[in-house]
Structure 1
Amino acid sequence: MQAVLGWIMSSRWRAVIGVWLMGAIQWLSLLGGGLVALVALRQGPAEGAGVAFLAALGLIPFAIMLGAPPWVLPVAALSLWLPVLVMAWALLRTASLARSFQLAALFGAMVVLALHSGDDTARQVGREMIDQWLMPFLEGREQGVPDEAALDRLAMLVPGMMAAALTAALIISLILGRWWQAILYNPGGFRAEFHELRHGQFAVLTGGVVFILAAVTTTVPLLDNLALVAILVLMFQGLAVCHAFVHRRKLGGVWLVPVYGLLLPFTVPVMSVMAALAILDNVLDLRGRYAPAPQVSDGSDD
């Protein structure tokens, strides 16, 4: 991996080709976002923006070949790459993964608010997504298709799922870029940085309030959707706590298997547990109490 990343980073056009290939292969789009983040973190956001826009222009022929409007693929790619650039810029300015992740939450919240801005926009978008992606599976069930009221309730949660998916894609892209930067230029640096991820009291309080309001007022889909974004972002601090405990106590990576193994089949419950762990860590400083970071010697004598 180090050799491949080094080759990509050796020139602008190699970076453009790498990002373009990832953008052209949709299921690799997160890797494209990671490469954009890597270029921005190493060579500056302006260079990252240049690589992103050149790679996006290269997607126009693919859109035409697929029979879609020329702008579809470039806009879809830039909707991921441009927010990642903003997050990379914030990381360079603040040296804080938490602040960058909170920016991802802001982008996700903007998606939720935009979809709830119209009188019936959220439900219409949700029903379109359900009809396109979920109905084929529902129609094949023995129980049949749920009634219209149930489908409408589910549709109102789709904006939150879309926003959470975007937020997760942005955060994972930045994580990839930061990890690859550490592989090339600062071995071990990302692990130490991620293990110290902490959102801070204000961010955790805000997320907690949104989560509590959503739980109490179960008839306000806007709060439910915002809570899903908040839980997702807090989840990453919970994961950081788990990783820090396993590494600092030398427990072995097998202890992380249940966390990630349960995350796919039980996504929302595991996300909620990880978010609760993040809140506890902010209140009780779990890592500081039970898994403190090893002291780095400055080479001086006591």
Structure 2
Amino acid sequence: KPAKFGVLLIRPLLEAFRDSFPPGVINVIYGRGRETVSALMASGKVDVFAFIGTHKAASDLKKLHPRPHRLRAALGLDAKNPGIVLPQVDLDNAVEEAVTGALSFNGQRCTALKILFVHEDVVEPFLDKFQRKLAALKPGMPWEPGVALTPLPEPGKVDYLDQLVADAKAKGAQVLNEGGGQSRGSFFYPALLYPVNHDMRVYHEEQFGPLVPVVPYRDLQTVIDYVLDSDYGQQLSLFGNDPATIGSLVDIFANQVGRINLNAQCQRGPDTYPFNGRKNSAEGTLSVHDALRVFSIRTLVATRFQEANKALISEIIRNRQSSFLTTDYIF
């Protein structure tokens, strides 16, 4: 089923399907997800459910399947990916990656950096550099050259972001950048929120938009606790150059998220890399290799090691009496 917005963008993919598969192998269903996908799941004829969306929607759809033990799922779900800036750090690189990671595609990527934890020793220069980078981003329409900030596609998104900003400001945060949080129609100018704390909604909720919450910290345990307690576990980014600290944090977070990025933003790909997550952020692993595994159930033909059985199998293979039991492999 195509995505909710930008349905026409699927046309080149449909043409590739048409040219690559016999008629009827690939089918595309148009319509609202709850009307179309819900009916398909309730039919019990879906064997593999590949889905990108919220964990709540995925759970509701899986519950509709009458034979859940026969359903396999490959799910990419919600994320609240933190960027963690340590006191010993290449600050220019951290800011460059944080701006791109938080605001490319208006922050509307599951792999975007959704919250930044910056050590108190470097938070002031970090915020200063971040604001200058942000001010240099060009707003406009997607088809205009050099544009980095564009209108948001879905109705109601600006209102939701306004609510998060109002909640944060009421609880002590400020919008640091000039024009931050201002909107016109469906365009929302990015807001750099500071200082953010655990009482604010944006500390917990995936904003999926151009809001950049920054949390100052002194004790690294604050950041560790955030990751451990989070319902989400897709990715995180570590910015720093102290080997002992980085090595220790990798060990701590290795069982909390699916991917740890060192001095780089969170991101998807390339497809040779597994795309996965923990907790409410994913089920299964997405990549070309893993997709083939998910969509396949391996079958084994076995026998006892006896001369009669050896002769039986040899004759089947020699006379090509089975297309499955064969020594011919096609790659």
Compute the TM-score of the two structures, normalised by the length of structure 1: 0.28
Higher strand share: 2
TM-score by length of 2: 0.26
Q: Which structure dedicates a bigger proportion of its chain to helix?
A: 1
